[in-house]
Chains A and B, each alone.
Chain A
Amino acid sequence: MDYVDLIFAMMGLSALLSVVATALAIRSKDLLNAVIFSSVQSVAYALIYFLLLAPDIVLVYVAVSVGIYPLILILLIKKVGRYETKQNWEQLKGGDV
């Protein structure tokens, strides 16, 4: 088996993994779990960009999406609250700001 077939198969598998991780990140009620699932999606995308022979895109993508973006979100979660409850949704929809 040639190693080019293996490289294309790995690109497909990691793209599939990123779709599953993104779906779970949108649907989870615990906001810290969503941050971790978003980091897994970024690691899968870093592998795809590496296999497409683009090192400058990998450097910028990993630095922003695994390094800076979870930092800002965790600082935000410390202020707001960790769980997304029905009470927050009622307050948003009812216009009671």
Chain B
Amino acid sequence: MVEVMDLEWWVITYLTALMIPYVISFFLYTIRMFKGPTLPDRVIAVDALGYDLAAFLTILTILLKSPIMIVCSVVLILWIYSLDIYVAKYLESKELGG
């Protein structure tokens, strides 16, 4: 097999160039979080921020070359989901008179 270019250099350069749109989208989510006039708007912005940050962390484990760091994104996804459930239970029980 004739070698065209180095695989390691290609993967690292491509992933480094793809990190910048993720950082821009995190910034846009935080603008909605500071601006949102009601409470559920803020919860939605934190939700989306957490899920996309978890995807970003799995991309970073290839760049940092340390394979144990991938367990941090499962934990982040599960606890951000439970924050949704807490706010939903608070809003719904106030309305039903509990």
Give the B-binding residues of A (Cβ under 8 A): 1, 3, 6, 10, 13, 17, 20, 24, 30, 32-33, 36, 39-40, 43, 46-47, 50-51, 53, 55, 58-59, 62-63, 66-67, 70-71, 74, 77-78
Q: A3-B16, A43-B49, A63-B79 are in contact. Are A24 and B72 (CB under 8 A)?
A: no
Q: Number of contact residues on B: which range applies?
A: 35 or more
Give the A-binding residues of B (Cβ under 8 A): 12, 16, 19-20, 23, 30, 33-34, 39, 42-43, 46, 49-50, 53, 57, 60, 63-64, 66, 68-69, 71-72, 75-76, 79-80, 82-83, 86-87, 90, 93-94
Contact B75 A70 (CB under 8 A): no
B residues less than 8 Å from A62 (CB atoms): 72, 75-76, 79
- The answer, among A6, A43, A50, A58, for a CB contact under 8 Å with B19, is A6
- The answer, among A13, A30, A58, A71, for a CB contact under 8 Å with B23, is A13
B residues less than 8 Å from A78 (CB atoms): 90, 93-94
C-alpha gap A63/B79 in the complex (Å): 7
